[in-house]
Structure 1
Amino acid sequence: MSQSRLFFSADEIYLHSAIDELRELYPDAALRPVGPDLGTIAAEGVSIAELATACRERPVVFVRHLFREVGSTPAAPTSLEDVIAIALGTWSALPLAPTVALQVWASGDVDAPFRTDELWHALADALTERGTDVARSGREQILTACVTTSGIIFGLNSLGSALTDWPGGRVRLAKPKGQISRSEFKLEELFRMGELELPSTGIAVDLGASPGGWTRILRQRGLRVWAVDPAELDPRIARDPDVHHIRTTAGDFLSTTTLKPDLIANDMRMAAELSASVMLSASRVLKPGGLGVQTLKIAPNQAMRTVQTALRMLRQEYEIVFVRQLHHNRNEVTVVLRRPT
């Protein structure tokens, strides 16, 4: 029996970095791009669950989403009806759960006779008629339909094997009322992932806080925040009695504070090695067992080298809990650190 193909998604600019990472994990695997943000890996004897575990444990930085192929259209589809027939024929032969998440997306600019939202609704209606309860997310079993220039790939796998509960790893967050800056999306996406135990009470320090976007998300989380920045905070966050604006630099604050925060956040725009140095200084302030959340700024031509150098530095004082280029990270990577107890 032939082995199912495994697919991975990454940011379009960093797909080559995702391929390089997986090649380090599986030197004998066949890896190739099949879309601008989609690749496939064929590694002898490696299941989707084993691949997901390896991605988490290494950790792999640029792979955002995984799925296992169970069928496909033979070529670019000519009609929605043809796609539904092939999809149902494929999925009906599998042990489907009573309730599933259905994820539909396109890799690249695909000239299809229907939109992806039309495909989602048509597939959902057809599955519902057959007695399957369909949701967009939050289910243990995921059915996927990824539209590419050479056809539609149908998948089935567990939530744990997908790395994320969003189609292709594309997290769509609506602009909330009161948003201060778009940088909030990065921290909100991290909190929404659900696989990390992040504090919801206690003290947080937001280094380089101005204008206050991350501070706002930390307050929503339930933390009292010390916002460190010489620049002004947005008035909407500055008047919060549980936000303490410390008008100084990160370096001066970390060298003089007596706080023992539960979490230190760092989204400052600086070179990755310098940002890592700031977090090494922060380790002396952070409560034992406390967490650090930071973004590392990268460039496409040396992304892996930049990240690996910064992580080597950070491991001097921290356990690396999580590293990934999230959907709302552009030229950067999100890292979660834990100070040893």
Structure 2
Amino acid sequence: MEEVRRSIDGSAVRILAPAETFIIESPLNREETLRQLQMQPPVFLRHIQPIDGSLNLTETEESAVLPLLANIVGQAQEILRGRRTAVHVRRAEGCAYPHSVFDTKTSLDGVLRDIGATADQRSPEIIVSIYAVKDQLYVGFGTPDELMSDWPGGAIRFQREEEQISRAKFKLLEAERAFGLDYTQYREAIDIGAAPGGWTSLLLERGVSVTAIDPGAMHPSLRNHPKLTYLKRNASEVKFKPNTFDLLVCDMSWSPMQMVKLVLDLNESLAYGATAIVTIKLMHRKPLQTIRDVIAKLESAFIVHRAKQLFHNREEITLFMTKQY
């Protein structure tokens, strides 16, 4: 919320669901507000839904809710006609909305057909976003870029695999998607603070050779992998030849400045233009200041392309960087 206030002068925010959603009241029009947020990509805001229509659920007969919702969507015919359209439905806990996600989508898929739009949940050009909270139902229309995600509420979900080492793997998967990366394009990676091996396992699956550094133990399933070099040591104790790695990843539960020192100390081992994906733990009261301080130090050796709190992050954010030439 503080980030939004700083990005849009004169804006106000109003909480809808604690620690989850809020309304932005902007002095700018819709297009200018969205443009402002795109010009200064926010770190913490994961999803934004324009409000193009709403229903007060306590003042609406239950039998009339879906027809009125269908009418709101039908009135957007000029926006939706001829475009691949997804319907995203989110329900806050305890909301008064009486219908299931399935029933809502089924009803609106019929409306989309009638107005000449194509229902497409996988690769939409535009999204109909529906959010039910307390006694209100909010409806909005926007492209995935405008909404900042093509997942409902920006909540990117991956299926847990039977032998998955840790859920930390999801963070690296989401980073690949969020930052437009392809891990199969890398040759040699260094994973700092690798144990038990969630991030290392993903990179090995993509065919990358990985040097994993951690005084802790790696998962037994990884130990004999032909592309893994495991150094059971602190990262501060190791050195490598220049230009050894084209990818560095780091997801340690250390202080932000300790992480910065380790990454900068290993900078010489990275090839020019190498990619770095690192997490910053935000355990202090001033997260925005911590982020600024960390980025300022890392910019001595890296171009910081994006700082983002991903859905699978918790009290941390992820940085996407490349080594300066």
TM (norm. structure 2) is 0.89
Per the alignment, residue 26 of structure 2 pairs with 43
Higher alpha-carbon deviation: 307-316 or 139-148: 307-316
- How big is the shift at 1:173? 1.5
Q: Residue 80 of structure 1: CA displacement?
A: 6.2
Q: Please state if 1:82 is matched with 2:64.
A: yes
Unaligned 5+ residue runs, structure 2? Answer: none
Q: How far apart in 1 are the matches of 2:312 and 2:59? A: 31
Residue in structure 1 matched with residue 266 of structure 2 by the alignment: 282
| 1:205 partnered with 2:190 | yes
CA distance in structure 1 between the partners assigned to 2:53 and 2:284 by the alignment: 33
Residue 291 in 1 paired to residue 283 in 2? Answer: no
Aligned equivalent of 1:143, options 112, 119, 128? 128
Question: Which secondary structure does the structure 1 equivalent of 2:52 belong to?
Answer: strand
Which residue in 2 is equivalent to 1:167?
A: 152
Relative to 1, partners in 2 of residues 1:235 and 1:78: Cα closer, same or farther, differing over 3 Å? farther
SS of aligned partner of 2:279: strand
Distance in 2 between residues matched to 1:79 and 1:121, nearest whole Å: 20
In structure 1, the gaps of 5 or more residues are 1-18
Q: Distance in 2 between matches of 1:316 and 1:66?
A: 33
SS in 2 for 1:334: strand
Alpha-carbon separation, structure 2, partners of 1:324 and 1:132: 33
Return the offset for 1:52: 4.7
Q: Alpha-carbon deviation of 1:21?
A: 0.8
Deviation at 1:324, TM superposition (A): 1.1
Tell me which residue corresponds to 1:215.
200
User: CA separation of 1:118/1:243 partners in 2, compared to 1, >3 Å: closer, same or farther?
Assistant: farther
CA contact (8 A) 1:137 1:166 kept: no
Give the RMSD, CA atoms, in angstroms: 2.3
Give the percent of matched residue pairs that are identical in Structure 1 and Structure 2: 24
Q: In the alignment, which of 219, 222, 225 is matched to residue 240 of structure 1?
A: 225
2:50 equivalent to 1:68: yes
| Alpha-carbon contact 2:97-2:135 (below 8 Å) kept | no
Equivalent residues, number: 320
What is the CA-CA distance between 1:164 and the residue it aligns to? 1.2
2:305 aligned partner, one-letter code = V
Equivalent in the alignment of 1:122 = 107
- Give 1:10-25 correspondences, 5 Å limit: 19-25=1-7
Taking a change above 3 Å as real, the CA distance of residues 221 and 51 of structure 1, as seen in their structure-2 partners, is farther
Amino acid at match of 1:283: N
Task: Compute the displacement of 1:129 (Å).
Answer: 5.5
- Mapped to 2, the partners of 1:92 and 1:112 lie a distance apart of 20
Distance in 2 (alpha carbons) for counterparts of 1:83 and 1:224: 55
On the 8 A contact 1:77/1:152 being kept in 2, the answer is: no
Change beyond 3 A, Cα 1:147–1:71:
same
Report the Cα distance in structure 1 between the residues aligned to 2:85 and 2:9, rounded to whole angstroms. Answer: 34
Does the Cα contact within 8 Å between 1:88 and 1:127 map onto a contact in 2?
Answer: no
> 1:31–1:42: 8 Å Cα contact kept in structure 2?
yes
CA displacement at 1:305 relative to structure 2: 2.3
Please, which of 2, 8, 13 is the counterpart of residue 31 of structure 1?
Answer: 13
